[in-house]
């Protein structure tokens, strides 16, 4: 039986009615942990350029791509290098990717690896342009999210989460072929580790979510593509921050029988920011479930488990 198709809420980032938008965000985050974002300020022309440039990179010979091996979460990861679901019997996830790390932090900006102009013309300025626009959209969204949690809209700014945030852009390419009798996903079942993720896809289907991550058997639903909309989801750190009020939802990418390109923007706090239960999310009857932890320590441990190093 094919998976059901999900109808997720649509959040308009440019709506002047911030109160209603915040209410919608709260509903989306408690019910699904996922929603669509429209009027986000990123032009269609830029997104087309990004997908063209991404395609050009992934079409390069493997030897060329391996000149930028993943270090400090920047650079290239080849096919099957990552297995997001450690319990899966597969050799790894059928995807390759390229990470671009924080551009706002001068201490770490030089850790990024860039294909040269000779290899890929205009590649770096295109990716930097998208990065900055997604950072602006993400900050705006977080101010609405703070409001949705009955906090001041500049709450995340005030606690230092957004001073030098750990924001990473990840280009993804899924070859998409279906291998008979092999349990291979483009991205195996996982929840994201951080605060929020903004996802842009090329329109090829494949993303599925499972709303009840602790229930067996798992029930998966397709997330359809909406032209011009980003797909946003909550990560485990935000679930932890909100005392499990906002849900970090299990999702995966299934092979679609054809190539698929997407771009994920992971917006996480400054590594020194302490993540502890928000006052508006705990009470006598619902005490904090998790001890406070530095954001950087939390993410480091999660990555260690994924990449085994």
Domains of the chain: 4-307 (2.60.120.330)
Within a 10 A sphere around the Cβ of 127, how many other Cβ atoms? Answer: 24
Average pLDDT over residues 193-215: 94
Q: For residue 116, what pLDDT is reported?
A: 92
Percent of the chain with pLDDT over 70: 96
Given a cut of 70, whether residue 203 has pLDDT beyond it is yes
Q: For residue 123, what pLDDT is reported?
A: 96
Q: For residue 1, what pLDDT is reported?
A: 61
Per the model's pLDDT, the better-predicted residue between 86 and 92 turns out to be 92
Given a cut of 90, whether residue 169 has pLDDT beyond it is yes
What's the burial of 256, exposed, middle or buried (CB within 10 Å: 0-12/13-18/19+)? middle
Q: For residue 307, what pLDDT is reported?
A: 66
Average pLDDT over residues 271-279: 96
Q: How confident is the model at residue 262 (pLDDT cuts 50, 70, 90)?
A: very high
Average pLDDT over residues 258-271: 96
Q: For residue 92, what pLDDT is reported?
A: 83
Given a cut of 80, whether residue 89 has pLDDT beyond it is no
Given a cut of 90, whether residue 266 has pLDDT beyond it is yes
Give the pLDDT confidence of 29-67 residue by residue, as tens digits: 999 999 999 999 999 999 999 999 999 999 999 999 999
**Which of 60, 65, 55, 7 lies closest to 35 in space, CA to CA?**
7
In this prediction the pTM is 0.95
pLDDT, the chain, mean: 93
Q: For residue 303, what pLDDT is reported?
A: 81
Given a cut of 90, whether residue 3 has pLDDT beyond it is no
Beta bridge partners of 232: 35, 198
Average pLDDT over residues 184-210: 94
| Least confident stretch, 93-102, 107-116, 218-227 | 107-116
Average pLDDT over residues 208-223: 92
Percent of the chain with pLDDT over 90: 79
Average pLDDT over residues 14-22: 97
Q: For residue 304, what pLDDT is reported?
A: 79
Given a cut of 70, whether residue 309 has pLDDT beyond it is no
Buried/exposed code over 95-107 (b: 16+ C-beta within 10 A; e: otherwise): bbbbbbbbbebee
What number of CA atoms fall less than 13 Å from residue 14's CA on the CB side? 6
Q: For residue 139, what pLDDT is reported?
A: 97
Q: How confident is the model at residue 198 (pLDDT cuts 50, 70, 90)?
A: very high
Distance linking the first and last C-alpha atoms of the chain: 39
| Least confident stretch, 73-77, 102-106, 161-165, 179-183 | 179-183
Q: CB under 8 Å, gap of 24 or more: what pairs does 293-301 form?
A: 293/240, 295/161, 295/166, 295/237, 295/268, 295/269, 295/270, 295/271, 296/166, 296/271, 296/272, 298/193, 298/237, 298/240, 299/166, 299/193, 299/194, 299/237, 299/268, 299/271
């Amino acid at each position: 039986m094919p998976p059901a198709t999900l109808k997720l809420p649509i959040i308009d980032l440019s709506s002047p009615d911030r109160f209603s938008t915040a209410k919608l965000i709260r509903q989306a985050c408690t019910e699904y942990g996922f929603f669509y974002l429209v009027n986000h300020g990123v032009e269609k022309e830029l997104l087309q350029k990004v997908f063209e440039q991404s395609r050009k990179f992934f079409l390069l010979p493997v030897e060329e791509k391996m000149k930028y091996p993943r270090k400090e979460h920047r650079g290239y990861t080849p096919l099957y290098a990552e297995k997001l679901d450690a319990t899966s019997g597969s050799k790894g996830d059928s995807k390759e990717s390229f990470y671009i790390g924080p551009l706002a932090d001068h201490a770490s900006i030089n850790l990024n690896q860039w294909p040269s102009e000779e290899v890929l013309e205009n590649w770096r300025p295109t990716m930097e342009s998208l990065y900055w626009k997604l950072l602006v959209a993400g900050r705006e969204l977080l101010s609405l999210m703070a409001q949705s949690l009955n906090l001041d809209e500049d709450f995340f700014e005030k606690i230092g989460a957004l001073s030098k945030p750990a924001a990473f852009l990840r280009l993804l390419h899924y070859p998409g072929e279906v291998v008979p009798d092999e349990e291979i996903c483009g991205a195996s079942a996982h929840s994201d580790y951080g605060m929020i993720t903004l996802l842009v896809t090329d329109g090829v289907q494949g993303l599925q979510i499972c709303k009840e991550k602790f229930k067996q058997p798992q029930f998966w639903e397709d997330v359809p593509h909406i032209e011009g909309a980003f797909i946003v989801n909550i990560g485990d750190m935000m679930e932890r921050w909100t005392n499990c009020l906002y849900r970090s939802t299990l999702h995966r990418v299934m092979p679609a029988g054809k190539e698929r390109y997407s771009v994920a923007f992971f917006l996480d706090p400054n590594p020194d920011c302490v993540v502890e239960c928000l006052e508006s999310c705990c009470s006598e009857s619902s005490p904090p479930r998790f001890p406070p932890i530095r954001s950087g320590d939390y993410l480091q441990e999660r990555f260690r488990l994924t990449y085994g190093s």
